[in-house]
Amino acid sequence: MASITSVSLLSEAEFGCEHLASILAQDGNTANQFKSSFIKTHKALAPQRIATEDLAKQKGGLRPASLLRPKYTCLTCSEACVPAKRETHTGETGHQFYMESRGRALFCQSCRDLVYDHDLERLRSSSQNGTVQEIRRRRFSENSSDEQYVKINANKRPCAKQGVRGLYNLGQTCYLNVILQTLLHDPILNTYFLGSGHQSHDCNAPDCIGCAVAEAFADFNSSDKAEGFAALNLLLASWRASPTLAGYHQQDAHEYYQFLVDKLHASTEGHVEDHDQACSCFFHKTFYGKLRSSVTCDKCGNVTKTEDPMVDLSLDVQVQAKKRAMGGGVGPSATPTLNGCLESFTSPEKLMAGVYNCSGCGNTPQKATKQLRIKKLPAILCMQLKRFEHSLAVSEKVEGRVDFPLSINMLPYTTNPNSKVDKSKYIYDLSSAVVHKGKLDAGHYYVYCKQGDQWVLFNDDQVTAVAEADVLNADAYLLFYSLRTFGSGLQ
């Protein structure tokens, strides 16, 4: 895997893992209580001398099979768990540290791995309740060659996956690669596809997009593979599902995102096809929101409201420039902003007579005012900065950067912008930024994705760690934001 670990890390691992650090780095009782529990459990799991007569009773002098299987004792409550029950115990109690019974090694459930901490190891070695032989074997001095070897060869590592993997370009398939990388780096989708989400072994649908995406998640998270991989099955399934996608030619990443979301929704058992009806499937809740359009008659004040499903917001990046040309607020050199685009998207728009027939005026053409607002927000919000303009005369690409934030409050753009609600439920964090370089018919896509606290640039199978400033300076085409706090439905 392409490592994204910072080169500034010390050669000595300060703590066994980041979860252990959050406990041991604290002053006072928290760290001391953990150390006490560690020593107490270590002593309780110490090998017990078996009497000769008891040993003779064991068949063939062998230890029972139950003693050969490892168990994990919780350091918080001392409950012993077999490996299969360990995750359940952590989920129910929040306890995440265990001691393995055979070697008495520390296990972090959040890391799903054994962890080594040299301070805890010295603490264990200084215990006088172990056997003399074990104390002599484990005791290290600060300058011993053994401990120095461990310090020099140990590295801090973020828990879970250390690296990332690129996607091979299979022939102008960069549009697919950037969208798939965006999905692969979303925590919500990782929980679904790596958990009990789409069960490929139970799916009989031919060329199922859900199965192909599930396979990509499994490949991406395969710890025994370091190189990039090709999402061939997803490409073939996409071609078979949509004739317009088939073949090695340029495609729009935004259109492919819409296609992929629609097919993932269709692959879910129990989904509802009619968007006018409530659908409770995972993908509908994750990707789909609702837009409300309100048209107010300028003559009689009659208001007509309609609601439509949305899978993204398409924002005109030229609206602010046009307003400036007409003498609007900011100076002509100001860079357009995402918030400005959203304000333009949700601002009232005048409709001329002939466009709207008012039912309150006997279905006669009237001048009216139209306004779009977000009725319901999805968990993953995609925003397209419209860079491709098409007219009868010409099709062209709009160049230029649009300022976008790392976090954004979407409440002002909803149907209840001034409501007294918990505003934290409307805060979204940037998770991915897709960039298109080149001309309309001869361009290339690459994507910035957030991996833990680090930003990574994916240019097909090339993977590069980048600074936050690099992401914010990008000429983004698609922006993906993830809801920071999950509540009971956003209205």
Q: How confident is the model at residue 62 (pLDDT cuts 50, 70, 90)?
A: very low
Question: Does the pLDDT of residue 194 top 80, yes or no?
Answer: yes
Give the whole-angstrom CA distance, residue 120 versus residue 127: 11
Lowest mean pLDDT among 36-45, 66-75, 461-470: 66-75
Interval 469-484 mean pLDDT:
95
Give the whole-angstrom CA distance, residue 186 versus residue 380: 9
Lowest mean pLDDT among 2-6, 30-34, 139-143: 2-6
Round the average pLDDT of the chain to a whole number and report it: 80
Give the whole-angstrom CA distance, residue 335 versus residue 448: 21
* Rg, Å, the chain Cα set: 29
Would you say 398 and 387 are in contact if contact means Cβ atoms under 8 Å apart?
yes
Give the whole-angstrom CA distance, residue 435 versus residue 458: 11
User: By percentage, how much of the chain surpasses pLDDT 90?
Assistant: 38
What sign does the dihedral 100-101-102-104 (CA atoms) show? positive
Segment holding 431, helix H or strand E? strand 427-439
The count of C-alpha atoms lying within 13 angstroms of the C-alpha of 125, restricted to the half-sphere facing its C-beta, is: 14
What are phi and psi for residue 219, nearest 5 degrees?
A: -65, -45
Question: Does the pLDDT of residue 142 top 90, yes or no?
Answer: no
Give the whole-angstrom CA distance, residue 287 versus residue 63: 55
Segment holding 424, helix H or strand E? none
Question: Does the pLDDT of residue 213 top 70, yes or no?
Answer: yes
Residue 28: which region, alpha, beta or left (left: phi > 0; alpha: psi -120 to 50)? left
Question: Does the pLDDT of residue 385 top 50, yes or no?
Answer: yes
Q: How confident is the model at residue 150 (pLDDT cuts 50, 70, 90)?
A: low
Amino acid 409: pLDDT: 95
β-partners of residue 297 are 368
Q: Which residues are catalytic?
A: 174, 444
430 Cβ contact list (under 8 Å, min separation 6): 404, 405, 406, 407, 408, 450, 471, 479, 480, 481
Interval 71-87 mean pLDDT:
90
- DSSP string over 233-263: HHHHHHHHH-TTT-SSS---HHHHHHHHHHH
Would you say 94 and 37 are in contact if contact means Cβ atoms under 8 Å apart?
no
Spell out the domains of the chain, with CATH numbers in brackets: 18-43+70-116 (3.30.40.10), 176-267 (no CATH), 288-325+335-486 (3.90.70.10)
Residues 305-345: tens digit of each pLDDT: 999 999 999 998 875 555 444 444 444 457 889 999 999 99
Give the whole-angstrom CA distance, residue 241 versus residue 238: 5
Amino acid 69: pLDDT: 64
Task: Tell me if residue 373 falls in helix, strand or coil.
Answer: strand
Question: Does the pLDDT of residue 52 top 60, yes or no?
Answer: no
Q: Which residues of 147-164 are buried (b: 16+ CB within 10 A; e: fewer)?
A: beebeeebebbbbebbeb
Amino acid 277: pLDDT: 73
Quick one: CA torsion of 208, 489, 479, 249, rounded to 10 degrees?
Answer: 20
Quick one: CA torsion of 203, 204, 206, 211, rounded to 10 degrees?
Answer: 10
253 Cβ contact list (under 8 Å, min separation 6): 174, 175, 178, 179, 434, 436, 445, 477, 478
Question: Does the pLDDT of residue 421 top 90, yes or no?
Answer: no
Lowest mean pLDDT among 126-135, 351-360, 381-390, 407-416: 126-135
